[in-house]
């Protein structure tokens, strides 16, 4: 038999059929991450990650389930470079992620899809639904702040700025015009996002990050506190580039400190949170005129404090001049998941019931950091921001 052949070297450059499905998959990855933000954002290695670092997030549900055998029950066959002996360990994986319960298998690359995001991309997802609440146009400086905004579309651009939606739309239109409806994309359909520098009226905003560093603040409390403020800081720096941040640590005395010291280890000694408020009020009076500044004081404590009534009084003064006053109380209380506040939180809850400018949260576990962020930084503080589910 004389089998023949043919050879072709057609131009395949315009063939990009898989892009649509790849994009759809990316969307699903993001949705899955968004659903799990609570568990993700309080992970130690993310909080300590450098700028631009890629974090790997195990994402569940990005494969289709099948009726299949359990992995623990199955013996597999593998292949080594020679000399493999019984008892050799050929693979390891951390045990199922905490709090996720009975996850089926962690065989690398099989059960879990590892999404890779930079810390910045993750931050984008985290901040998608966060806002500085009650923000007013205040500020005499009126220095226009410049910001890049992707707000226009061009036919030329770099690949990373490809606007897939518009490109597909163009392709759809062109195909429809040519009488063969479909999604096939030609070069002429490509659309790219371009940016403009836009000037915004300056909105003066200052955030007071206050933390209890007394001896009763244990490792867990300190961790939660850092975790919350880490994301708050990133959020403010990303979305409100001109916002100022004042760091205050407090035990029996309050100190204004720099960022590095603030995130450092805790102190020891008694607890007198009224000192933190007193210092914040002094700073406001000296540096941040309430008519010109949006002011947001936040305090994290375990709620065991000297002089709660004094705190309530000072807080009342703050409510008068601030956009929102936040109080977060941390208790490692995983077993009972108690929602009861400690004495300081109770005092606030009684004094400020129904006050829309006061937002109180209780944090019992790492997963609560995300809801706390959502409650403080939503358009209507205290109301859960909407999360995609």
Partner 1 sequence: MNASERADLERWIDLIQEAAHQSGLDFYPTHFEVAPDHVIYELGSYGLPARFSHWTFGRDYHHQKTLYEYGLARIYEIVFNTDPCQAFLLDSNSMLAHKFVVAHVLGHNDFFKNNTYFERTNRQMVEQVRVHGNRIRKYEETIGTDTVELFLDGALALADNFDPGLTAEFRPPVEPDEGSGKAPSSLSGTEYDDLWNIRVEKRPAGDASPAAPEPTRDLLGFLRDRAPSLARWQRDILDIVRDETLYFIPQMRTKILNEGWASFWHERILTSLPLTPEEHLEFRRLHASVISPGSRMTINPYYVGYTILRDIERRWNGETSDEAPEENWRGEPIQRAAGGGMEKLFEVRSMECDVTFLRKYLTRALVERLDLYTYRRDDSGGEARWVVQDAGWEKVRDTLVDSMTNFGLPIITVEDDDYMHRGELLLRHAWDGKDLDVDYTSRTLAYLARIWRKPVHLATNQSGQNVVLCHDGDTAASHAP
Taking the C-alpha atoms of residue 388 and residue 27, their distance in angstroms, rounded to an integer, is 12
Per CB under 8 A, the list member of 113, 127, 131, 306 interacting with partner 1 is: 113
Cβ 6 to partner 1 shortest distance, Å: 5
Per CB under 8 A, the list member of 53, 54, 71, 384 interacting with partner 1 is: 71
Token pair belonging to 270: 């008694």
- The gap from C-alpha 279 to its chain's centroid, in whole angstroms, comes to 29
Q: Which of these segments, 84-92, 146-154, 357-365, 366-374, binds partner 1 (CB under 8 A)?
A: 84-92
Residue window 154-193: x/- pattern of binding to partner 1, with contact defined by CB under 8 A: ---------------------------xxx----------
User: Does the protein bind partner 1 through residue 98 (CB under 8 A)?
Assistant: no
Cα four-point dihedral sign 120, 123, 125, 129: negative
Q: Which of these segments, 18-26, 186-194, 198-206, 231-239, binds partner 1 (CB under 8 A)?
A: 18-26
Cβ 133 to partner 1 shortest distance, Å: 33
Cβ 106 to partner 1 shortest distance, Å: 5
Alpha carbons within 13 angstroms on the beta-carbon side of residue 229 total: 29
CB atoms within 10 A of CB 271: 23
Runs of H (alpha helix) within 103-249: 119-127, 164-177, 219-239
Taking the C-alpha atoms of residue 205 and residue 287, their distance in angstroms, rounded to an integer, is 12
Per CB under 8 A, the list member of 45, 89, 180, 260 interacting with partner 1 is: 89
Rg of the Cα atoms in the chain: 27
Per CB under 8 A, the list member of 45, 50, 80, 148 interacting with partner 1 is: 80
Per CB under 8 A, the list member of 76, 156, 177, 187 interacting with partner 1 is: 76
User: Does the protein bind partner 1 through residue 56 (CB under 8 A)?
Assistant: no
Work out the angle at residue 53's Cα, subtended by the Cα atoms of residues 38 and 370, and round it to the nearest 5 degrees: 15
Cβ 98 to partner 1 shortest distance, Å: 11
Nearer to partner 1, 71 or 120 (CB): 71
Taking the C-alpha atoms of residue 112 and residue 128, their distance in angstroms, rounded to an integer, is 25
User: Does the protein bind partner 1 through residue 78 (CB under 8 A)?
Assistant: yes
User: Does the protein bind partner 1 through residue 316 (CB under 8 A)?
Assistant: no
User: Does the protein bind partner 1 through residue 25 (CB under 8 A)?
Assistant: yes
SS3 assignment, position 11: coil
Question: Alpha carbon of 235 to those of 61, 122, 335, 384: distances in Å?
Answer: 28, 11, 31, 17
Nearer to partner 1, 4 or 258 (CB): 4
Q: Which of these segments, 24-32, 272-280, 307-315, 370-378, binds partner 1 (CB under 8 A)?
A: 24-32
């Amino acid at each position: 038999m004389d089998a023949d052949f043919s050879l072709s070297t057609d131009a395949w450059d315009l063939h990009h059929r898989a892009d649509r499905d790849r994009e759809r998959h990316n969307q699903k990855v993001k949705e899955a991450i968004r659903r799990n933000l609570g568990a993700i954002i309080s992970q130690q290695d993310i909080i300590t990650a450098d700028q631009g670092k890629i974090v790997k997030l195990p994402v569940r549900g990005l494969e289709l389930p099948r009726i299949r055998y359990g992995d623990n029950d199955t013996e597999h066959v593998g292949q080594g470079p020679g000399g493999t002996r019984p008892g050799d360990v050929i693979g390891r994986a951390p045990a199922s992620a905490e709090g996720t319960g009975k996850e089926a298998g962690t065989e690398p690359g099989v059960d879990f899809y590892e999404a890779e995001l930079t810390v910045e991309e993750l931050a984008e997802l985290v901040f998608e639904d966060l806002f500085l609440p009650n923000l007013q146009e205040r500020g005499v400086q009126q220095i226009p702040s410049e910001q890049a905004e992707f707000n226009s579309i061009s036919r030329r651009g770099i690949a990373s700025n490809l606007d897939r939606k518009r490109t597909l739309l163009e392709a759809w239109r062109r195909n429809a015009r040519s009488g063969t409806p479909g999604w096939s994309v030609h070069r002429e359909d490509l659309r790219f996002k371009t940016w403009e520098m836009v000037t915004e009226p300056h909105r003066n905003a200052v955030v007071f990050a206050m933390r209890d560093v007394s001896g009763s603040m244990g490792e867990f409390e300190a961790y939660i506190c850092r975790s919350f403020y880490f994301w708050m800081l990133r959020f403010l720096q990303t979305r409100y580039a001109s916002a100022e941040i004042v760091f205050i640590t407090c035990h029996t005395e309050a100190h204004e400190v720099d960022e590095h010291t603030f995130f450092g280890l805790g102190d020891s000694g008694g607890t007198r949170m009224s000192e933190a408020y007193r210092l914040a009020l002094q700073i406001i009076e000296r540096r941040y005129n309430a008519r010109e500044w949006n002011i947001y004081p936040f305090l994290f404590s375990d709620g065991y404090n000297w002089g709660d009534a004094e705190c309530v009084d000072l807080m009342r003064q703050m409510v008068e001049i601030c956009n929102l006053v936040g109080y977060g109380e941390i208790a490692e209380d995983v077993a009972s998941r108690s929602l009861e506040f400690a004495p300081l939180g109770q005092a606030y809850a009684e004094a400020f019931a129904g006050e829309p400018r006061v937002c109180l949260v209780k944090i019992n576990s790492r997963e609560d950091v995300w809801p706390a962020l959502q409650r403080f930084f939503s358009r209507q503080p205290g109301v859960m921001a909407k999360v995609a589910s």
